[in-house]
Amino acid sequence: MAESNDDRTQPVPNNAVNAPQTSYRDPSAAPLRKLSVDLIKTYKHINEVYYANKKRKKANEQGGHKKERRLYNNGYDDENYDYIIRAGEMISERYKIDSLIGKGSFGQVCKAYDLHEKEFVAIKIIKNKKAFLDQAQIEVKLLELMNQSDPEGKYYIVRLKRNFVYRSHLCLVFELLSYNLYDLLRNTNFRGVSLNLTRKFAQQMCTSLLFLSQADLGIIHCDLKPENILLCNPKKSGIKIVDFGSSCQIGQRIYHYIQSRFYRSPEVLLGIPYDMAIDMWSLGCILVEMHTGEPLFSGANEFDQMQKIVEVLGIPPRHILDNAPKARAYFDRHSDGSYVPRKTSKDGKVKKDYAPPGSRKLHNVLGCDSGGPGGRRAGDQGHTYQDYIKFRDLILQMLEYDPKHRIKPHIALQNCFFRRTADEATNTTPVSPTTSPPASGSRMPGSYGQATSSSGVYTGDSNATTSEGPSRGSAMDCDSPSTRANATWSNSIVGSQTMDTPSGNVARTKTANRSNESSTTTNSKGAHQTRNKTKQMSKYVNDNTQSSMSVDQASAEQAPTRTSHEASSSHTRMTYTESVTNQKNHRLKHDVSRNESPMVDVCVQPSTVAST
């Protein structure tokens, strides 16, 4: 017995460790059995697994989630703290969800049918995270304040109907509007809208800024851009401003990084205190873009943005640069106190050859001497040399470097550029709501940024054509990589579109891929409906030129005809369109969406100089 115990304490030989162990497999699990006797059971199991995965994938896609992700909040939220939206779901026993409209860093926007009011609405569902909740509560406060001060909706501000909390998510219910102004540009092949329609937009925007500047409001929007200005009705030129998620009141400025880069004012770029004048700067940039089809200042980053501004407007006044904390990031100071643009950015990443300061004249950008941008408006009524000079002078006053001298809304409204406009063309009545809930799988009319087969996009321009141009980000960049994969309320009430892509080329490639895939998987009826939709939109654009004209010319002006310059070959038009598209691609490549960047990065950092 002692020897036996000694043997058990001896180490196990190495060859014994690797000795094969005999095992027996369950006969029912043997591959041969599964592929012979149990073949039917095997196929049944495969089908069950396949369809279970397919169903789960479809549910995720309907909620805007292409890949299956980890769930939070008892399975209601995804890993990004977004509520998982599913078509047909009832929210608060009142709103029937139709589909996802937009998605961004703030959360998501969906179309829904209000069973109580019998109308369609847009619901902005905020992320289930404190930083986003706090910012959304500020937005609610400002919207309620504005709506109370404008009960009749005369000042072009979106209406907040109500707000509530659902499954730990703050939900904001807005009136349902139509396309945003970027969609409008896209439907003109980025050739821009007429000067007459641009005037209508300008007058409404100045009126809205005048309203916001009232002493009892003092609200700075902080993120004006085409994506945040929506048409109330695709057949009218009436607009409303949306997305007050970055807004603040005078004296309560807590952000130091605001405004989408293309529309960012010099005082924000330079890091000096700002006020409501930054919105007027953004408006000047927007109006030029609406008429030319291209951003006036399309910087790839803040350094590039400032240099592009200098190309047009020259070097900022010395008294501004002397008091600007970030002046040395863009300019070198000589011993005599004068400033010159830096050759490269401080990090050395930007090294470009820029035009001399002030050499790229706004006069030439607008084509004042050549019949408009690219000569495309030559001979058109309402586009005379005098009309362009008035427009140019107004824009230059909006783009004044010194915010103290920048034109104020009430002065702008008295400018000779503005003329009386047709009431019908500035109607702010939203699209008429359907009085019954949609059928299963149907699309709701009049949704943000989405065309319907029954109505086109109002451009006020007979020369405009419809096109599926590139998507872009909504633009509050942090100059750091992020996903504009738009989104926003660009097609929604917030400003960016869920379906934005990081580059125009990718956007066009994906669009083409979707088109090719659709042609092989859908029936001919669906393709026919798509072609009809495009034809109807194009026809509507051509039929509604007169709506953009002023009252004093409406009776005399007919739809403008193309000049010989405009009636050039299709090859020439394609070349121009490609150049504009390349410009948009460049814009997409470098401009990061505010709505898709972390809220804590862009909204939660206090600033002692109150510069966003």
Query: What are the catalytic residues?
Result: 223
Q: How far apart are CA 112 and CA 499, in angstroms?
A: 19
Burial of 132 (0-12, 13-18, 19+ CB in 10 A): buried
Q: How far apart are CA 520 and CA 538, in angstroms?
A: 26
Residue 396 CA: distances (Å) to CA of 44, 278, 279, 392, 408: 72, 14, 14, 6, 13
Comparing C-alpha atoms, which of 503, 491, 444 is closest to residue 187? 491
Angle at 601 (CA atoms; ends 275, 138), nearest 5 degrees: 55
Does an H or E element contain 582, and which? Answer: helix 570-590
CB 595 within 8 A of CB 477: no
Does an H or E element contain 115, and which? Answer: none
Burial of 322 (0-12, 13-18, 19+ CB in 10 A): exposed
**Could you give phi then psi for residue 122, rounded to 5 degrees?**
-115, 125
* Full DSSP string of 122-178: EEEEE-SSHHHHHHHHHHHHHHHHHHHH-TT--S-B--EEEEEEETTEEEEEEE---
Token reading at 86: 């599913």
Q: How many helices (H) and strands (E) does the chain have?
A: 19, 12
CB atoms within 10 A of CB 602: 23
